[in-house]
Structures are given as C-alpha cells and as structure tokens.
Amino acid sequence: MLEKHIGEFNLTGQIAEDVPRFLALFGHHKTAEHCATVAAKAIELTTIFEDNPCKAEQAGYLHDISVVIPNDKKINFARRQLVEVLTEELKHPMIIHQKLSVVIAKEIFAVSDMEVLSAIGCHTTLKAGATRLDKIVFLADKIAWDQGGNPPYENKVTEALEESLDAAVLVYLNYLWETRSQIQIIHPWFVEAREELLQ
C-alpha cells in the first residue's frame, strides 16, 4: 500500500532534504514550505523549553507527510495499516492525517524514535498525557499558520509563551473550544487534552 506513494524516492538521511524532495514528487510544494516552517519554530521552542532540537526538527518536517494520500483514500489506507479509526475521523478523514504521518515516518523515513512518532501522531489535536515534545510540535504547527495572514490567536499564544508552554497550549485549545461551532468535528483527543490542562 505504501509503495505506490514512494516512487523512485531514496533517502539521503538529511531530513531537511528528504522531506521536501518526497513532497515535491507529489506536487506538494506548499506543504513542504509549511513543514520547514514548523520544524524551524519547533527548534526555536526547544531552546526556550529545553527539549531535543533534533527530535523537534524531525517531527516538524514529518508531521504533514501523509498529505500525499488523498482524503478520500485516507480511511482505507488507515485500515490497511491497522490504524485505529475513530468515529470523528470517519466523518472528517483529513484529521486522521496525523496518524498516517506516523506510518509514513516509520515505513518510508525509517523513524523509530517513539518521542518523535508521538509528536507527529498528535500534532493536530494533541492528546491527554502529552509530552513536552508533543506540545512543542503541536504549538509550532499552530503558530506556523498556513492559511494566509496571521492566526487570530497569535498574540495571546505569544504572550502565554512567556508564562509557560502549557499556558500557551491552553490558549490555543481554549480558542478552539470557543470556536467549536465553526469546526466540522470535535476530536476526543483535543477534548481530553484540554480537560487535563484545565485540571
């Protein structure tokens, strides 16, 4: 199943080279730019919150790598790879891309570090019991907004970063909760992550 997404791709071992080349094979140049921006922001956050910049860079570059799988094929792909599919993901298949990026990171990019895979696997929704690296990559993805203009929560998140990583994460989760009527589904991982931080 994965082979049809590989083409003639060969790893160099340099994540900053390999990911853009892989995404370019499928015409996803904009995603490649976003991934580079997320990786840079994640590295920056590790200098503030004392985490591993190499792991943050890996996760940042690979977090959206499953964009190469079309949304209408994501659920079938997940099932063939024995990835758990939640009801909410069935309703809105795009959101399962975080789990599918883990599969591609492992199978194509030979990533075995469980911390990196965890950060990739919850970068959209976060999750309860999130590690510091999970939160760094999650927040880097939200700060590196790829929708044009500046994110509406940017100033509050930036201010909260001066307090703590958790404070900044909670600002974004609260923003999402307050605007939940405008989003297609409420993922349970997001709800659980927010409840845990509120406690």
* pLDDT above 60 for 1: no
Domain presence at residue 140: yes
pLDDT in tens, 104-126: 999 999 999 999 999 999 999 99
Domain assignment present for 166: no
pLDDT tens-place string over residues 73-82: 999 999 999 9
Q: Is residue 147 scored above 80 in pLDDT?
A: no
The answer to the question of residue 167 being in a domain is no
Full residue range of the structural domain in which residue 51 is found: 3-147
More confident residue, 8 or 89: 89
123 located within any domain: yes
Query: CA 175 to CA 178: how far, in whole Å?
Result: 5
At residue 9, the pLDDT reads 78
Dump pLDDT digits (tens) for 153-197: 999 999 999 999 999 999 999 999 999 988 888 999 999 999 999
How far apart, in Å, are the Cα atoms of 15 and each of 110, 139, 167, 180? 11, 20, 30, 35
pTM: 0.94
CATH at residue 110 = 1.10.3210.10
Residue 126 token pair: 């976060």
The share of the chain scoring above pLDDT 90, in percent, equals 86
The arithmetic mean of pLDDT across residues 142-158, rounded, is 88
CA distance 143 to 106: 26
pLDDT band for position 132 (50/70/90)?
Answer: very high
Structure tokens at 181: 């009527």
Number of domains in the chain: 1
